[in-house]
Amino acid sequence: MANSHETAIGVAALSKRFRLYRNPIGRIADLIRPRAGRFEEIWSLRDVTFSVRRGECFGIVGQNGSGKSTLLKLVTGTLLPTSGSIQVNGRVLALLELGGGINPELTGRQNVIMSAALLGFPEGYAEAKMSEIEEFAELGEFFDRPMAIYSSGMYVRLAFSIYLFMDPEVFIVDEALSVGDVFFQQKCYEALKKIMKAGTTVLFVSHDTGAIQKLCDRALLLDHGRIEFIGLPDEVVNRYHTKLGRLTQERRERNDNVEPPPPNAMAAGVVEGNLLRQAPFAASDVGLSLLGAQLADSDGHATTVQEVAGTISVRALVEATRDVANPNFSLALFDRFGALVFRTSLARLGAAPPPMTAGQRLLSSFDLTCRLAVGQYTFSIGLGQTGGLSEEDYPHSPMMGPLFVTSDRSTSLFYGQVGLATSIASASPRSGDVP
């Protein structure tokens, strides 16, 4: 561990065990006369050791059930460890649960005063910070209204604003910012950067791996209560997405509900890596049926993980249920919130297939340069005919995927959400042309 004067949070061999009783009577009986067999032991954390330096932003990444929330509750003292030790140096403020520590019967202004008193600040401190908190929260007239009528986003605005201006030495944030609107999230991230420069330590937990990469100095990957890796955010996020991709592949291989079409030489790859969970998907009005779809890397191997700027192929095996004069297939890509990121079609790309006869199968491939931000994406295949419905109105297959996009920022070709095709032109103006 780092020197104690440089350490804001020190965790050593930390473990937490929970006992699950079959019924409440068993819990009471065990208090009177302990006996094995009345409960099941669940270890939420096992032998977790790490340290966080003062002024550092330290991220925690892991799937649901990996132990992230338990770890934060142990750090804040909400839970006591079964074994191991925790040392936290400085005033800790934790934004763990929506509305935690807020009295909904009071107004926003009154909750600021109450929070300052509960945190041990002297009388008058809240009033001195009130204008800054009110301005940052951007609640308008709702600042003086009971919080019982606040939306979830308004709760987060006020809670974050209160803690931000209460001068925390250690600030813990767990997913709460995902509730606010995107503009307030951006404002919060900038505020976190500002207080970190002033020396505040931030412990940051989020499923937004892009935020982990942009905000954190280091990160920790938890898996089933144990540390799998600690290091730079890029590598932690890549390991996280790669692991999710492997688990998705394993789940798909265990899925017995999918009945792929009979394999043949042309469709073997799609059959092997089929992501369609309900086969086939029929667009009966169009006369087409989607038998399978897969993601493949540049070598043709089925995958759900690809690096930024790498090539990913979306392959679709389609069968005509009747004669179709002008078949057309579209591809739609969505982010983790279900928002459309990209849509195109064979016809739009100048590659519309020829007419199909009843029973004929066609394998089409959309080969994409994966210029997307790090994160998780899903896709769907639309089936239609040129000259009929517009492509956005095609019958679309259920969401498939996910596609996990990973990146090493040191070698990435761009920053941000997408990598736009860019050309550069430079010229030296003549001296007489410059005013």
DSSP letters spanning 90-139: S-EEEE-STTTT--TTSBHHHHHHHHHHHTTPPTTHHHHHHHHHHHHHT-
Instruction: Give the domain-ending residue among 207, 239, 271.
Output: 239
pLDDT at 234 over 90: no
In contact, 308 and 412? CB cutoff 8 Å: yes
The answer to whether the beta carbons of residues 384 and 328 sit under 8 Å apart is: yes
Same domain, residue pair 259 and 189: no
Q: What CATH code is carried by the domain that includes residue 344?
A: 2.70.50.60
Q: Are residues 291 and 206 in the same domain?
A: no
Asked if residue 248 and residue 234 are part of one domain, the reply reads no
For residue 415, being part of any structural domain is answered with no
Whether 370 is covered by a domain: the verdict is yes
Q: 287 in a domain, yes or no?
A: yes
Confidence (pLDDT) at 255: 46
Does the pLDDT value for residue 227 go beyond 90? Answer: yes
In the predicted model, what is the mean pLDDT of residues 132-161? Answer: 89
216 and 287: one domain? no
pLDDT, residue 19, reads: 77
Each residue of 328-362: pLDDT tens digit?
999 999 887 678 899 999 999 999 899 999 999 99
Q: Are residues 155 and 264 in the same domain?
A: no
Statement to judge: residues 332 and 260 lie in one domain:
yes
Query: What pLDDT, on a 0 to 100 scale, did the predictor assign at position 424?
Result: 73
Confidence of residue 248 (pLDDT cuts 50, 70, 90): low
Contact residues for 301 (Cβ-Cβ < 8 A; gap 6+): none
Distance of alpha carbon 206 from the chain centroid: 7
Q: Which two tokens stand for residue 379?
A: 């896709």
Q: Does residue 260 carry a pLDDT above 60?
A: no
Instruction: Answer yes or no: do 256 and 287 share one domain.
Output: yes
Neighbours of 230 (CB within 10 A): 15
What is the predicted pLDDT for the residue at 266?
43
Both 100 and 164 in a single domain?
yes
Residue 411 resides in a domain:
no
b vs e for 154-164, b when ≥16 Cβ sit within 10 Å of the residue's Cβ? Answer: bbbbbbbbbbb
Q: How confident is the model at residue 321 (pLDDT cuts 50, 70, 90)?
A: very high
Instruction: Determine the pLDDT at residue 300.
Output: 77
Which of 220, 239, 258 is a domain's end point?
A: 239
182 with 142, same domain?
A: yes
Number of separate domains in the chain: 2
Closest CA to 88 of 116, 57, 52, 42: 52
Phi, psi of 162 (to 5 degrees): -60, -50
Q: What is the mean pLDDT of residues 227-253?
A: 75
CA distance 302 to 270: 8
Q: What is the pLDDT of residues 14-73, one digit of tens each?
A: 999 887 777 677 666 666 777 666 667 889 999 999 999 999 999 999 888 889 989 998
Residue 211 has a pLDDT of 79
Cβ contact 143:109 at 8 Å: yes
From the number of C-beta atoms within 10 Å of its C-beta (0-12, 13-18, 19+), residue 389 rates as middle
Note the pLDDT tens digit of each residue in 382-434.
999 988 778 888 999 988 888 888 776 555 666 666 777 777 777 766 665 55
Same domain assignment for residues 150 and 299: no
Residue-wise pLDDT tens digits, 261-317: 444 544 556 766 678 866 689 888 899 999 989 888 887 778 888 888 888 999 999
In a domain, 253, yes or no: yes
| CATH code assigned at 125 | 3.40.50.300
The range of the structural domain enclosing residue 194 comes to: 7-239
Average pLDDT of the segment spanning 79-89: 93
Q: What is the pLDDT of residue 381?
A: 94
Calpha distance 67→35 (Å, rounded)? 27
Residue 199 sits in the same domain as residue 284: no
Q: Clarify whether residues 253 and 233 are in a common domain.
A: no
pLDDT tens-digit readout, 160-207: 888 888 888 999 988 766 655 666 777 888 888 889 888 999 999 887
Task: Please report whether residue 427 resides in a domain.
Answer: no
- Domain boundary residue among 208, 239, 270? 239
75 or 1, greater pLDDT: 75
Q: Is residue 435 part of a domain?
A: no
In a domain, 180, yes or no: yes
Buried b (16+ CB within 10 A) or exposed e, 333-368: bbbeeeeebebebbbeeeeebeebeeeeebbbbbeb
Output the six-digit token pair for 411.
């070698």
